[in-house]
């Protein structure tokens, strides 16, 4: 039961999608909206729309994972908080486990396909 | 329509409270993207979609609060019912009324006191009917000589009325 709760808690705490990308970008240093968009596009090959980006920023700030810094000409930079670092650590660990297992299973799947002979065709070509 | 007005128009998709907090920043971001010629139609749709989604989440949050308030009210109501149930166990299971039958009617030296049971709930009808039968028997025993008079004049009117 305790292990189940732990798994459930971890699943809820694992960040995915835009929030994960934003936290990853902010782990490299404080940035404002435009800089965040450019950085995410550079390392994830994904372009977050302005609405999606600010939706993620608002949710992360509400959860205390990022904090707003003093604005510079309406362009307010954000920085990752200690809580955000912990959340990013958890998420990256969880996703890393999924990536490792996914790669391993893909390897075995491809190995099986290469070693197991295909069944002979019944009533095949003459 | 100026560029600033266009930016503000896109922000109208978001709730007012959200705009108060993030409106200037998002407006600056849109300005930067327009300056770079980088604001596509997909980005505009993204703004609209994010705004509507934010509005929806606010509505859901409000609905959640309303549901919470309703749950508290329901809990209070159930608590009240439970409280009433506890005290109802010490109260009589049926309502009773004491009726004095004047001696003139039954021709007795003293007035006869009878209990009249009034049905208040359908579930208690059987219990009350049993009580009424007991009352009728008591009356019949008390006025054995005037049984017919009691049944015809007093008991039916007070018992079933």
| Residue A124 maps to a domain | no
Name the minimum distance, in Å, from the CA of B59 to any CA of chain A: 16
Q: Which two tokens stand for residue A16?
A: 């995915």
Contact by Cβ (8 Å): B151, B101: no
Domain range spanning residue A48? 13-113
| Residue A36 maps to a domain | yes
Most confident of A20-24, B85-89, B150-154: A20-24
Residue B124 DSSP class:
G
Q: Which of A41, A48, A49 to mutate to test the interface with B (most CBs of B within 10 A)?
A: A49
pLDDT in tens, chain A (126 residues): 445 555 555 656 778 899 999 999 999 999 999 999 999 999 999 999 999 999 999 999 999 999 999 987 888 999 999 999 999 999 999 999 999 999 999 999 988 877 776 666 665 555
Torsion on CA atoms A82, A84, A89, A91, rounded to nearest 10 = 160
Contact by Cβ (8 Å): A49, B43: yes
Name the minimum distance, in Å, from the CA of B47 to any CA of chain A: 4
Report how many domains make up chain A. 1
pLDDT at A114: 77
User: CA B9, CA A80: separation in Å to the nearest integer?
Assistant: 31
Indicate whether B92 pLDDT > 60. no
Indicate whether B109 pLDDT > 80. no
The contacts of residue A10 (CB under 8 Å, 6+ apart) are A90, A94
Distances, alpha carbon B5 to alpha carbons A16, B1, B31, B54, in Å: 34, 6, 11, 21
pLDDT at B91: 47
pLDDT at B75: 64
pLDDT at A48: 93
Indicate whether B93 pLDDT > 90. no
State the average pLDDT for chain B: 69
B26 reaches A (C-beta below 8 A): yes
Residues of B in contact with A75 (CB under 8 A): 25, 28-29, 32
User: CA A31, CA A72: separation in Å to the nearest integer?
Assistant: 11
Least CB–CB distance from A49: residue in B27, B46, B54: B46
Q: What share of chain A is helix, strand, coil (3-state, %, to 5)?
A: 65, 5, 30
Contact by Cβ (8 Å): B46, A51: yes
At residue B14, the 3 state secondary structure works out as coil
Indicate whether B94 pLDDT > 60. no
Indicate whether B44 pLDDT > 50. yes
At residue A79, the 3 state secondary structure works out as strand
The residue with greater pLDDT, B81 or A24, is: A24
| Domain range summary for chain B, segments of one domain joined by + | 3-86, 95-160
Q: Predicted confidence band at B159 (pLDDT cuts at 50, 70, 90)? A: very low
Is the alpha carbon torsion for B143, B149, B152, B157 positive or negative? Answer: negative
Residue B39 DSSP class:
-
pLDDT above 90 covers a percentage of chain A that reads 67
pLDDT above 70 covers a percentage of chain B that reads 39
* Total Cβ atoms within 10 A of residue B152: 10
pLDDT at A34: 93
Residue B123 DSSP class:
G
Contact by Cβ (8 Å): A91, A16: yes
pLDDT at A35: 94
User: CA B140, CA B44: separation in Å to the nearest integer?
Assistant: 91
User: CA A91, CA A14: separation in Å to the nearest integer?
Assistant: 4
- DSSP code string of B98-111: EEEEPHHHHT-SSP
Q: What is the mean pLDDT of residues B7-31?
A: 87
State yes or no: ipTM above 0.90: no
Q: What is the mean pLDDT of residues B147-160?
A: 44
Question: Does the beta-carbon distance from A54 to B22 stay under 8 Å?
Answer: yes
Indicate whether B161 pLDDT > 80. no
Paired strand residues for B116: B97
| Residue A62 maps to a domain | yes
User: CA A71, CA A19: separation in Å to the nearest integer?
Assistant: 21
Q: What is the CATH number of the domain that holds A79?
A: 1.10.10.10
| Residue A59 maps to a domain | yes
């Amino acid at each position: 039961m305790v292990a189940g709760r732990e798994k459930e808690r971890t699943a809820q705490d694992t960040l995915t999608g835009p929030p994960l990308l934003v936290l990853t970008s902010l782990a490299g240093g404080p940035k404002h909206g435009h800089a965040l968009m450019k950085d995410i596009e550079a390392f994830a090959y994904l372009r977050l729309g302005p609405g999606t980006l600010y939706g993620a920023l608002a949710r992360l700030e509400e959860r205390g994972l990022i904090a707003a810094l003093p604005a510079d000409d309406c362009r307010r930079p954000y920085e990752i908080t200690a809580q955000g670092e912990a959340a990013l650590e958890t998420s990256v660990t969880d996703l890393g486990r999924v990536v490792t297992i996914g790669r391993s299973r893909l390897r075995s799947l491809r190995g099986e396909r290469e070693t197991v002979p295909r069944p002979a065709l019944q009533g095949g070509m003459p | 329509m100026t560029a600033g007005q266009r930016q503000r128009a896109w922000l109208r998709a978001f709730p007012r409270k959200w705009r108060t907090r993030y409106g200037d920043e998002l407006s600056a971001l849109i300005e930067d993207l327009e300056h770079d010629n980088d604001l596509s139609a997909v980005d505009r749709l993204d703004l609209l979609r994010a705004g509507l989604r934010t509005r929806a989440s606010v509505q859901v949050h409000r609905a959640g609060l309303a549901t919470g308030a309703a749950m508290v009210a329901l809990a209070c109501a159930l608590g009240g019912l439970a409280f009433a149930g506890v005290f109802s166990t010490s109260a009589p299971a049926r309502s009773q009324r004491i009726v004095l039958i004047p001696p003139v009617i039954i021709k007795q030296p003293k007035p006869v006191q009878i209990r009249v049971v009034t049905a208040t709930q359908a579930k208690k009808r059987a219990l009350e009917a049993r009580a009424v039968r007991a009352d009728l028997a008591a009356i019949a025993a008390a006025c054995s000589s005037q049984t017919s008079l009691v049944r015809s004049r007093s008991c039916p009117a007070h018992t079933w009325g």
